[in-house]
Amino acid sequence: MNNFSRRHMLAATAGGLLTTTALANAQAAGPLKFKPGNGGFARQAVELPPGEKVAYHDPKDVAELSDFHFSLDGTVPKVTSGGWAKEATVHQFPISKGIAGVHMFLEPGASRELHWHAIAAEWAFIIDGRCQTVVLDPSGASEINNYGPGDLWYFPKGHGHSIQTIGDKPCHFILSFDNGAFSEHGTFSITDWIDVTPKDLLALNFGVPKDLFDAFPKGETYIQAGPVLPASEALDAPWPGESTHKFSLLHDNRAVREFDGGTFRLATVDEWPISKTMSGGVMTIKPGAMKELHWNVNANEWHYYLRGKAQVVLFGSGGRSKVAEFKPGDVAYIPQGYGHAIKNVGDDDLEIVQTWDNGKFEEIDLTKWVKSSPRYLLGNNFAGVPGTTITRLKQT
């Protein structure tokens, strides 16, 4: 019998599960076609004749791999008197279900008004300039922090906060949120709230005459222009210890994680206890180098490209893969568990702001997995591959 031993046949016959048709198929040349129920049930499972050499994935059985590239800075900004913001949410970028992102620019003297987010925590990386945040938590405690390039902040979901430019230079930064449905159009802003609340109720709430509210803005100011705040007048009242909302990514040695071909600075809940739902940092990759094939065990991954040119390959199981190129202002989204790698295909250093929607950072590298696997297992998985090649894979 072709590719079907006497042992196979006896085992199947003993279980009463091998039909005349199955025997005929076993003896026929070419690929075998199996039906539901072939192979038996429960404890009566039996071996079947070998099928295809490699598995075939019917496109109908696996959803098409979504586009994981989006030009955040190519979108239309939301502009008000003191600056602008551009966003990438699941509404513009359908694959990005777990994380949304914003590029925000504040003019000198401008402030992003007092507000909060009902559905997402906020993580930020300062690209350039200086700013100050004020945050209030449910206990009534508040913190005031000043930031420069390379600093991070994290505000838990629902905590009230604001952002104020310091000095005579603009400040801009990348914001990342742990909910892809979050939008800058859906923040709870103080001017918007006061505008739509009856004045007699406001008067009762604040203990002042209601006509005082005639001078308040009509609508949401969002980012409001104002007089420049000199650095010498910027208050700084951080919380003590590890509870602070600020992390100095470029100056804290705990953030350093080197790898072949580049550097990685990362702040997780282990280095920054308040950042319970997000991890994030900056990765720099040298020209021609790459962040090797890997996957994230417990989180979705989001990129904002600051500098350089990248090629990213995404593996989505079921025979699905996509390759895309990224330039400054682009974002990428890698769903949790999807294999991927990042290569610098430009002439300059590649610089990427990255975030994950989990305070714990976990990843597994393909090379480490291969090295830790027995040689006989690799030889079986990669049937037909010379043993010398397997040896080289384990030695890389």
Sheet bearing 339-344, strands edge to edge: 320-326, 310-317, 339-344, 290-296, 363-365
Q: 65: which strand partners?
A: none
Active site residue 112: yes
Query: Per the residue annotation, which of 87, 122, 301, 351 is the catalytic one?
Result: 122
**CA gap 370, 57 in Å, rounded:** 24
Query: Per the residue annotation, which of 112, 130, 159, 265 is the catalytic one?
Result: 112
Query: Per the residue annotation, which of 87, 143, 184, 271 is the catalytic one?
Result: 184
DSSP conformational letter for 147: E
Q: What is the DSSP string of 317-376?
A: ETTEEEEEEE-TTEEEEE-TT-EEEEEE-SSS-EEEEEEESSSS--EEEHHHHHHHS-HH
**CA gap 78, 242 in Å, rounded:** 35
- Cα angle 88, 92, 96 (rounded to 5 degrees) comes to 65
**CA-only gyration radius of the chain, Å:** 28
**CA gap 357, 326 in Å, rounded:** 22
Active site residue 184: yes
Query: Per the residue annotation, which of 8, 103, 115, 340 is the catalytic one?
Result: 115
Active site residue 325: no
Q: What is the largest CA-CA distance in the chain?
A: 97
Active site residue 351: no
Phi, psi of 159, rounded to the nearest 5 degrees: -80, 135
DSSP conformational letter for 237: B
**Contact by Cβ (8 Å): 299, 355:** no
Query: Per the residue annotation, which of 8, 69, 103, 117 is the catalytic one?
Result: 117
Catalytic residue ranges:
112, 115, 117, 122, 161, 184
